[in-house]
Structure 1
Amino acid sequence: MVVVAVAGGTGGLGKTVVEQLRLHGSHHKCYVLGRKAPQHPTFDLAPFLEVDYGEVESLTKILEDHDIDTIISTINLETNAGSEAQLNLIAAASSSRVTRRIIPSEFVSVIDEDNSNSGPGIGGWIANARALKKSQLEYTRISIGFFSDYWGLPHIKTNLRPFHWFLDIDKGVAAIPGTGDEKFTVTYSKDLALIIVKLLDIGERWPERLCLSGSDISLNELVAHAEKIRGSKMSVVYDPVEKLDRGDVTLLWHPEDVSEDQFKPLFVGLCQLILAGDCLLPKDSDWLAAKFPDLQLTTAEEILDRAWKGRESAI
């Protein structure tokens, strides 16, 4: 049995990890760490520990008082507050007499801590990777590319917030940067959560880096599969590199809490990463394949099939 704490475990990926722990890791003791207790009275997946991420000393005490052996962080590192929270969590885990390992929140493309231009260009991934490297903690940094869940919303099982990018199957439209032939990696959040749970039972030291790939896919391939499901062609707009270089891009959607003007440069940056090949993960899953030979990750095509096959809205 491992005593594990999931930081940010009341929603999004964190909730998915806790759900998979209940389904496949019930022999472990699980706590959820967070700034505020969940408002919803039905949240009963695991005992909740209210923490102050700004206080390393109090964080350390909570880890020691509850014999936390392993931390799984799903804190959003895109914000300064989230980055500082995980940095303090790493510091607290390093100071704790009982905590020995951590899976940090680094579920994006491969981050090179020695290259300040590595990764999405925003957020605190590099600072956190450097802090981990300096610590004495055992850790594994998991890269997944992007989450494929978003193309299955609202019909796929996921706890992730909506993020509608590149194609809208329901409306039959797609906006594609570049040629559409550039490949990138996507992974289903449930698969990532299950791998994390399985890692808790590994007796040997974790590798410092792991890459998961549900699919290495291009947008043209994705659109072709969506058209097969729909039984009709989609309306596709291609944004050339020159348009992206001007800071412009075709948006099918933007988050309600972010204006179009704020979202557009962030989305342009994401498109440019894909076109540069930075979001296609290396093939280094031999370790995982050896440990879990029966593991089958969900492909992007399977996400589309589960979500959209047989639905009138997709015709």
Structure 2
Amino acid sequence: MVPTVAVAGATGGIGRTLVEQILKENKFSVIALTRSENVESPVSGAQYVQVDYEDIPALAKQLETHTVHTVICAIGMLGLDCSEAQIHLIRAAEKAPTVQRFVASEWGYHTKEERKNIDPGVDWFLSAADILKESRLTYTRPVCGAFMDLLGTGSPRMKSHIPPMTIAVDVLNREACIPGNGSNTITMIYSYDAATLIAKLLELDDSEWSEFSFCAGVDTTLSEVLKTAEEVCGEKFKVTYMEPDDVNKGDVPSMKPLEGSGIQHDEQKEYGSFGYQLYLADGFNLPTQYRVGDKFPDFKPTTVREFLSSCWDKKA
């Protein structure tokens, strides 16, 4: 019998990508959990199940009924309600006798207690981790660093479900805002590569799971990313370098929101300030230990140059 994986937040950017790649690996069946009764453009091969994250007993029953073995949470932690939804999902997974493993919703930068001054939402991630530590479930916290997809924002050739946004290097408009001198290390990965690593991780025994699963693609710097983007595009970008003290005070320029993204000017500035501060605090510099790709020598992540070329090189 093929094991069943449930993906919560399955219609979001990360969630949909995970559903696609897990099905592509063809080792698991997928239950896509969603609050919506109707799903636009469902992924072929996935069974969509409407759930209520407020009702833990009913949620546990759904997991048991579909004989779910592993739960992956891809609910974006955008507010307290999202945090509570994940906590309820953990409680339900522990109640469901078929569920043995849980992949927590982290996905972005490396959350730590000392980064709460930058992101108060760190508590949401740490609370879930504390509950999982006390549970019977085998679990892991996936961390991806920075998604390469943002470098393709505005390109009609990019394949991605990550919401479009321009931070640091705006290839579409040939602009860049670099915190400090751009020399801090940033770990980047293409979203489909990250989803592939999670799909492969599902095949491993519980004993090979660790608390963190670092889905690392490549280690680079913003200066190197900018240089590569200029080379691929064949032109120099307009570059603004920001003093670290200004960044930490939130005194940063705002890049242009992508037309049609729905992001307002003040939101764009807020997102940028958040990302720049985390970059300077090495929040996107993932540890070398517990990198998932090390377990799969045949896995070759997309490089920054390969990604940029696929999106922006006119000869590609």
TM-score, normalized by length of structure 1? 0.90
**2:184 aligned to which of 182, 185, 192:** 182
1:94 aligns to what? 94
Letter in 2 for 1:222: V
| 1:165 equivalenced with 2:167 (yes/no) | yes
- Preserved contact between residue 146 and residue 185 of structure 1 (Cα < 8 Å): yes
Verify the 8 A CA contact 1:167 1:175 in the aligned structure 2.
Answer: yes
> Aligned partners of 1:34 and 1:159: how far apart in 2?
16
Contact 1:36 1:50 (C-alpha < 8 Å) held by counterparts: yes
1:303 paired with 2:302, answer: no
Query: Using a 3 Å threshold, how does the CA distance of structure 1 residues 149 and 195 change in structure 2: closer, same or farther?
Result: same
1:38-77 equivalent positions in 2, closer than 5 A: 38-40=38-40, 43-77=43-77
Name which of structure 1's ranges 84-93 and 294-303 shifts more when overlaid on structure 2: 294-303
> Following the alignment from structure 2 to structure 1, what is the Cα–Cα distance between the partners of residues 30 and 171?
38
Contact 1:111–1:118 (Cα < 8 Å) also in 2: no
One-letter amino acid of the counterpart of residue 63, structure 1: L
CA deviation vs aligned residue, 1:34-72 (integer Å, no higher than 9, x gap): 101344265544111100001111111111111111111
Worse-matched range after superposition: 133-142 or 43-52 = 43-52
- Pairwise CA RMSD of aligned residues? 2.2
Tell me the SS of whatever aligns to 1:69: strand
The match for 2:108 is 108
- Is 1:251 the equivalent of 2:254? yes
**Structure 1 residues 57 and 119: CA distance shift in structure 2, 3 A:** farther
CA distance in 2, matches of 1:208, 1:118: 24
Deviation, structure 1 residue 266: 4.2
Contact 2:75-2:105 within 8 A present in 1 as well: yes
Distance in 2, matches of 1:81 and 1:287, equals 30
Secondary structure in structure 2 of the residue aligned to 1:281: coil
Q: Structure 2, unaligned stretches of length 5 or more? A: none
2:146 & 2:163 partners in 1: Cα distance?
A: 13
Gapped regions of structure 1 (runs ≥ 5): none
Q: Distance in 2 between matches of 1:208 and 1:127?
A: 14
Paired residue for 1:281?
286
Query: Are the equivalent residues in 2 in contact too, given 1:187–1:214 (CA < 8 A)?
Result: yes
What CA distance in whole angstroms lies between the structure 2 residues aligned with 1:67 and 1:116?
Answer: 38
* Residue in structure 1 matched with residue 237 of structure 2 by the alignment: 234
Letter of the 1:238 counterpart: Y
Change (3 A) 1:286 1:129: closer
8 Å CA contact retained: 1:167, 1:252: no
State the AA in 2 paired with 1:186: M
CA distance in structure 2 between the aligned counterparts of 1:204 and 1:145, rounded to whole angstroms: 24
Q: Is the 8 A contact 2:214 2:292 kept in 1?
A: no
Q: Structure 1: how far apart are the matches of 2:87 and 2:5?
A: 18
Partner of 1:225: 228
Match of 1:292 in 2: 296
Aligned to 1:122: 121
- Structure 1 residue 216 displacement after superposition: 1.6
Q: Secondary structure at the match of 1:85?
A: helix
Instruction: Give percent identity, aligned residues only.
Output: 32
Return the alpha-carbon distance in structure 2 between the equivalents of residues 64 and 223 of structure 1: 49
Q: Deviations over 1:72-113 (max 9, x none)?
A: 11100122121111110000001111111011111122234x
Partners of 1:46 and 1:164 lie apart in 2 by 31
Cα 1:195–1:224 change in 2 (3 A) is: same
Shift of 1:241: 1.9
Q: Which residue of 2 aligns with 1:211?
A: 214
Give the TM-score normalised by structure 2: 0.90
Q: In the superposition, relative to structure 1, how do residues 125 and 236 fare at CA in structure 2: closer, same or farther (>3 Å)?
A: same
The residue type paired with residue 117 of structure 1 is K
Conserved? CA contact 1:176–1:219, under 8 Å: yes
